[in-house]
Structure formats: C-alpha cells, structure tokens
Chain A
Amino acid sequence: MNMMSDAAVEKALDKKMNDVSYKMIGKDVSVYYGDKRALYDVNLNVRENTVTALIGPSGCGKSTFLRCLNRMNDTIESAKVTGRITLDEEDIYDPAIDVVELRARVGMVFQKPNPFPKSIYENIAYGPRIHGLARNKAEMDQVVEASLQRAGLWNEAKDRLHESGTGLSGGQQQRLCIARAIAVSPEVILMDEPCSALDPIATAKVEELIHELRTNYTIVIVTHSMQQAARVSQRTAMFHLGHLVEEDDTDKMFTNPNDQRTQDYIMGRFG
C-alpha cells in the first residue's frame, strides 16, 4: 500500500516537473574570490513567473549566487565563476553576450535604496533612454508613469516628479529603485534584501509589490527574514557554507523541510 502511494506521489511530481518552465538554469555553479571558494557546484533552477527566495546564514553564498545571475560578480576583479548559467537557454557567460543588455533583462534591486542624485523622473527615464526604449518625450512620460504605477509610487510621486529622488522616504526610495528596475522591461528581477533598511509599513508595501510583479516577472529574492521568505515566495532555496542544501516549495520548506540544517536555521536553533 505504501509503495502504491509512493508511485502515485512520484507520478504527480513528474507531472508537476513537466509543467514547470525554467527561466534561468544554474548548473554546477562555483564562485571563487581569489583563492577563497564561495560557492560549490550549485545546481539551482529559477522558475518562470515565480518568486524564488534564497535563504541561509550570512556568508552562505546566497548573495553570491544571486549576483551570478546578472554577472554582477564581473565587477569584482578577483571573482571567478565556473559552471553554466542560462537565461532562456542562452549561456549568460558566453563572451558574445552584451552584459549591459543582460542586466537590462535581469534587473537588480539592492539592500539599500540607491536612487541616482537626480529627479524622480530622471531616475526612471535613465534606463529606457540608454536602451532606446522611448522615441519621444510623450513615450518617455508614458514609461515613467507606468513604471511608477506598477511600483505603487505614482500617487505619492506624481506631483513631485522633478524633485530629487533622494528626498523621498526610505520606503519610497526603495520603490523608486524597483520602478527604475521595471522601467527597462526586465524579464527577471533580482532583489538583495530589499527590505532590510525599511520599516514594517514600507516592507509590507514592497512585499505587496513583489506579489503583484510576479504575474509579469520572474523574481529571485535574498532575504534574512524567514517570515518574509515564507510570505512572498513560492520556492525557497537554502544555502549553507557555499552549498545549496535544498530547494523546495516554500510551504514545505517552512513547515517540514527535509534537511536538518534547514530545520535548525529556520527555527533559530544551533546546528
């Protein structure tokens, strides 16, 4: 009887696997910072239109992995990435790839809000302008408004579009950064602890935004807040000492994870 149900479970899983489409695939990804190895052969796939949360203690490699997904590690001179990462089956570490274009397709939001020291309007318009996404002023106005709308900032910002972005509150600045990331119509948005500098209300707004963005974008978020990962994501990946410990449905990960290290980490216990 047990064998029957196991077989049934496996069948259901197979079906599920076949229905899933992967936006990005990471195969045997390792990262070295000089002599120090930060990631060990990570195999992690990012599902399309899904929020994937990366969790784990500090220094576990989750941010390192995140930064591999749009080649942000290229900016660190000593960093070396091995393995293969694809975006829509295209190798993003292929020398023929235009990194600027890659980063337009795979946008990023950082831990601290970092608006350009320019007007709110210019913060949003900068990306579309360099990528040639708007032909005239009217189109650019359109892009700016749509981006601010989607980031839930339009009502607060529409009367002060030409004031400096740095004059906004922390939560508004972070949503401005998200609007800036959206403005170039990325396919994937990477978020590195986007709420760690925000108060609970601003955090809730950003989480609500992540929830809405999921229908159009694929999102990968690094967070230290277990509750946040549980709230916003559908898949969760746990990292520990540079290894991917496990990846599973978020509901499963936070109620009954397979690995003892995950269990200990999410419950706040000593391993």
Chain B
Amino acid sequence: MPSTHITSAYDEELKYLTRRISEMGGLAEQMCADAVRALVNADGALAQKVISDDAVLDHAEREIGEKAIITIAKRQPMAADLREIIGSLRIAADLERVGDLGKNTAKRVIAVQESGIPRNLARGIEHLSELALIQLKEVLDVYATRSVEKAEAIRQRDEEIDAMYTSLFRELLTYMMEDPRNITSCTHLLFCAKNIERIGDHATNIAETIYYMATGHQPEGERPKDDRSNTLSAILSDD
C-alpha cells in the first residue's frame, strides 16, 4: 500500500480483510492437498478432516463479506480502496469454491477406497493437483505482493493444467473401456480430476481480480484454454 489513510482505523479494516483472505487461502490450499493425499492413500480419516474444515472456510467467507459491507457503508471507499474491498469479496468467493471442490474430492475417497486406484492414475491425479496447487500458492503470494506481472503470468499458465486434465480424461476413458468394472471408480476419479482442474480456474480468476485491484483495468484478451475434453470423443475414435 502506497501510503496510509488519515483515519488509521480505516487502514486496520483493510488490513483485516487482507489478513483474512490470506488465512482463507492457506486453509483452502491445505484442504485441497489433503483431499488428494486422502484419495491417493485411501485415507478416510484425512478425508473426514477435509470435510469438516470446509465449514471453517465457509464461515471465514461470510465474515469477510460482512466486514466488507460494513467498511463500504462506513467509509464510502473510492478508487483503489474500493477495488481492494470488492476484490476481497470476489477472492473470498473463489477461495470458498476451492474449498468446496476439495471437500467434494474428499467425499469421493470413501467411494473409491474399496476398489483402490491404479498406480499410474494416482500419479496422474497427483501431478494434476501439484500443478493446481502451485497455481493457487503462487496466486496467494501475488495477493500478498500485488505484482501485476506475476498475476498476468499465472493467468497464462492455466493452459498446462487444462492440457494435463485432458490427458487424464483420456486415460480414464481407456480404463473404462478396457474393463467395465472400472467404471464406478474411474467416474469418481474423473470428477476428482475435474475438481482439481476447476481449482486452477479459480486461481486464474483470483489472478485476474488481483490484476484489476492493482491497475483498475481488466486484463486484456481471452485467457488461454487447453481443456479439450469436450471434444475428446472425436479424438478417441481417431485412434
């Protein structure tokens, strides 16, 4: 922040929002990492912890929302301050969704626990989640530093996750075709993969929000997309 407000309580209110967003980010990140770990290791207890953590995240989002509303009513913020507060609301909503996606993944742990997951699929999911979590972690760092260049870079990188997701989708389809008994677990895994891919999208949303908060402009151009799973039937029949 370039300088402080004449009213120091105003600074405190903005700092509160920043602190709570960082906390939410840390928790969302932790939940997603735990969910994937629970999935790969068939760890029911860890999955249960993720599910209960989601309530904490939801609560934090509501508190941030309330504080933001009060601050707007009280201070009638302008320019960068206004963007800061509106940005906090948007980021809190994205992080809350990230938590939901982690929770949904955790819920599927029980369903795939019995059949277990083939080693190479597990590795694929782990790799996808690594990419998504790096994305999330970096976007939270950018939130702390407000580096516009880095926000832009993160936005460009969502492509990798999309490509990885498309390849995982393809692999899961192959497994299902090989043996119909794989269908139940593979469908759950497919949802998990989609959840993780969505986390990447939310990280990208957050990067765009930070860009807007810092500059007052929307980032230019379409975000890059490489999720081709919606056209994959054609690709498979080509094989």
Question: Once the chains are docked, how many angstroms separate the CA of A263 from the CA of B82?
Answer: 12
Q: Are A269 and B79 in contact (CB under 8 A)?
A: no
A226 in contact with B78 given A5-B220, A255-B83 (CB within 8 Å): yes
A271 at the binding interface (Cβ < 8 Å): yes
Q: Are A267 and B220 in contact (CB under 8 A)?
A: no
A227 in contact with B82 given A269-B6, A271-B3 (CB within 8 Å): no
User: Which residues of chain A have a CB within 8 Å of any CB of chain B?
Assistant: 1-2, 5, 226-227, 230, 254-257, 260, 263-264, 266-271
Provide the B213-239 mask, 1 if CB < 8 A to any CB of A, else 0: 001110011000000000000000000
A268 in contact with B5 given A5-B220, A255-B216 (CB within 8 Å): yes
Query: Which of B5, B7, B78, B216 neighbours the largest number of chain A CB atoms within 10 Å of its CB?
Result: B78
Closest approach, in angstroms, between the C-beta of B12 and any C-beta of chain A?
14
Interface size on B, residues (CB 8 A): 21
Question: Once the chains are docked, how many angstroms separate the CA of A256 from the CA of B6?
Answer: 20
Give chain A's interface secondary structure class: helix
Q: Are B4 and A269 in contact (CB under 8 A)?
A: yes
Q: Are B80 and A268 in contact (CB under 8 A)?
A: no
> Can you give 25 contacting A-B residue pairs, CB < 8 Å?
A2-B220, A226-B76, A226-B78, A227-B76, A230-B78, A255-B79, A255-B82, A255-B216, A256-B215, A256-B217, A257-B79, A266-B79, A267-B77, A267-B78, A267-B79, A267-B80, A267-B81, A268-B5, A268-B6, A268-B7, A268-B10, A269-B4, A270-B3, A270-B4, A270-B5
Question: Once the chains are docked, how many angstroms separate the CA of A257 from the CA of B79?
Answer: 7
Known: A266-B78, A267-B77, A268-B75. 9 other contacts (CB 8 A): A1-B221, A5-B220, A227-B76, A256-B216, A263-B2, A268-B5, A268-B6, A268-B10, A269-B2
Q: Are B6 and A254 in contact (CB under 8 A)?
A: no
Kindly list chain A residues whose C-beta atoms are within 8 Å of the C-beta of B79: 254-257, 263, 266-267
Question: Once the chains are docked, how many angstroms separate the CA of A257 from the CA of B7?
Answer: 21
Question: Once the chains are docked, how many angstroms separate the CA of A226 from the CA of B5?
Answer: 15
Question: Once the chains are docked, how many angstroms separate the CA of A24 from the CA of B45?
Answer: 75
Q: Are A269 and B78 in contact (CB under 8 A)?
A: no
Closest approach, in angstroms, between the C-beta of A120 and any C-beta of chain B?
35
Give the residue of A1, A263, A270 whose beta carbon is less than 8 angstroms from that of B80: A263
Q: Are B3 and A264 in contact (CB under 8 A)?
A: yes
Look across to chain B and name the residue whose beta carbon is closest to the beta carbon of A2. Answer: B220
Question: Once the chains are docked, how many angstroms separate the CA of A255 from the CA of B77?
Answer: 10
User: What are the 4 A-B residue pairs with the smallest beta carbon separation, nearest first?
Assistant: A256-B216, A266-B78, A269-B3, A267-B81
Look across to chain A and name the residue whose beta carbon is closest to the beta carbon of B221. Answer: A1
Give the residue of A2, A226, A266, A270 whose beta carbon is less than 8 angstroms from that of B6: A270
Question: Once the chains are docked, how many angstroms separate the CA of A257 from the CA of B216?
Answer: 9
Closest approach, in angstroms, between the C-beta of A154 and any C-beta of chain B?
33
Kindly list chain B residues whose C-beta atoms are within 8 Å of the C-beta of A268: 5-7, 10, 75
